Structure 1
Amino acid sequence: MIAYVKIYDYLKQILQKKAEKKETVIIIIDEMEQFATSKKQLLLYNLVDWAQTRDVRIGLLGVAEHSNMLQLLEMRVQSRFSNIQIIVPRPKFSQVLAFLEQSLTLDKTVLASYEGEVAESLKSYEKINSMWPPDSYLEEYQNRLSVLVNKTKSFRELIQFEYDAGETAGYFLQLALLAISELQAPTFENEDQHFLSTKIFEQVKDQFAVDYQLSIFQGLTDASIAILVTMANLNRTGQEYFTLEMVYMKWRQFHRKHDIIKQMLTRGEVQTVCEYLQQLQLVRDAGDAFGLNRAKMATPSDLPRRYRAMYLNFSSSILLDQIRTGSVSCSTRTREWALNPDDCD
């Protein structure tokens, strides 16, 4: 890890050189969600603030998967961005399926170009020929892949569920790579374990979900972590589903206990964070789980947001263990709220 002072000084030197040449600097921040931690926001703010005092012409471009990214930044950092947003629409579900099939296709002509390289790396093996997939396997693989993607209901429902949850094309590509890694080396006798299946995708999806959640935890703001902890504490009391109001009132108890109520977010701000957590799929919408809408013609989607139920999309013990071990950084107050909730009620 590079110390804050070192990276700050290094970037200032670059900007200083650009300023002397009267050049314009454009800073592009990829995966902006990972930049929402307080330390990284401080670096960004100080860097831009310093650049403006040196009359450096500077532009900031943040690339994020979620359109409400700016709302997660501190007000002073938000002020450095304009309200201009370019939103790229998601691909259609049919396009995602086509993308998956194309990504997983084994083209014989492409594979042939790597045959020499593979053979060279496998010289230590006695049966080199058996390590390279035979033509019969490649043909069977393509046939089964086509059936899986285009005709297998269970597979399409699995991908549809993730698509409806807002997953990006990058997620499906990573899912495909993980699925390929689960295949056993093909032989001349083609068996089921040598081909992709819905079962394999279900397994790697579960594996990927844990890794994804852990990486997301580490990029969340303290307020987001505190709200997740509040939901986890509701779980501890046997509450599987909860509304925005339940989360807000539970968190309010914590602030009142420590006499820091003035530091608490407003209901609107808590709602914004909850919506963001849903976009990250750490929290899922449960609709009218409490049966609040009694109207015969009404649907769960008709409920106002503050009454819609939510639930954690991961085991609360995962987050609490990460906080306990220090893998997830948070304030002392939030850590106390996570590890000693009974003392805060």
Structure 2
Amino acid sequence: MVVGSAGSGKRAIVARAVAQLKAASPRVFFPVYLSGSALANDMEGFREIVQQLVPEGGVAGHKVGRGAASFFNVYDFLKQLLLEKALAGHAVIFVLDAFDTFVGGAKQLLVYNLLDWMQPSDDFYDLWEASLYRVLFGADLHSTWWWQHLYDLGKPVNVFVRLLQVALTQLTPSKPLLDNAHVQAAWDVLFPDHVLHALRGLTTREMTLVLGMIGLERQGKSQYSFEMVFHDCSAFYRQHAMKSPPRVELLHALANLLALHVVHEVTHQPQPEYSMVRLAVRPTEVLDAIRKKSVACTALVEQWAMTTLV
């Protein structure tokens, strides 16, 4: 499926793909282009297929003109024509332009017939179903839990459609098959992790305050003042025989955390160091980002997070 506005080059993309197929395969390809905006009804579509497949208007000793096509049993004739192409090892490619115009009204029967003619045997479906089941529910269960999680959250179908549309734009000639990496990259584009982006922008001073707040939450405190956090951070620095950062620098760091919405005020006081604040992000998000090295921090800060707070 090629999606794009009129004049965006969809026909050229399809023509190039067909040309590549012809160059790569010894089979004979017959592309049939049907424009939904140019055809008034399904009978015109049937006649157009005949005209493109048999330009001279004849097959198997029969002459089929425009008048005959509307009189004769077009359904059986086209089915026989496609069967002869298949037995000869020829491949017929139907390209439906303006597909939305085919799914209703007078042209709906044309699409139903094309789909019916292309149906393979039941054996193929049995094998395909078994293969699909192995892919979805086989040994690689770790790659499916996320989809189940999204389904449980009640994500609508259009979320997955949009996700796959973005993932498909990342396919390249060297990597033409869609895999989990493409889908994950598309998810990151559509639904960026704002918490992770905010954490990546924190300085060492700001991350120190965040870890101090996490330490206080581990002690059962749901809100805390700057003085409480400063005392906790100072104790950590003393434990490692290091000089604690000046109070004024940590106050500026707290102001930045408030501006970035990593921390928000619970109660306001004229002196900011006495205002009660709390983290706006979950402690597990911060610690997971540090453990996975998704954020840059000093070895000392990482040691504090991994040995004391986890």
Q: TM-score range by the shorter chain?
A: 0.3 to 0.5
RCO higher in 1 or 2 (8 Å CA, sep ≥ 6)?
1
Bigger radius of gyration: 2
Higher normalized strand content (fraction of residues):
2
TM-score, normalising length from structure 1?
A: 0.37
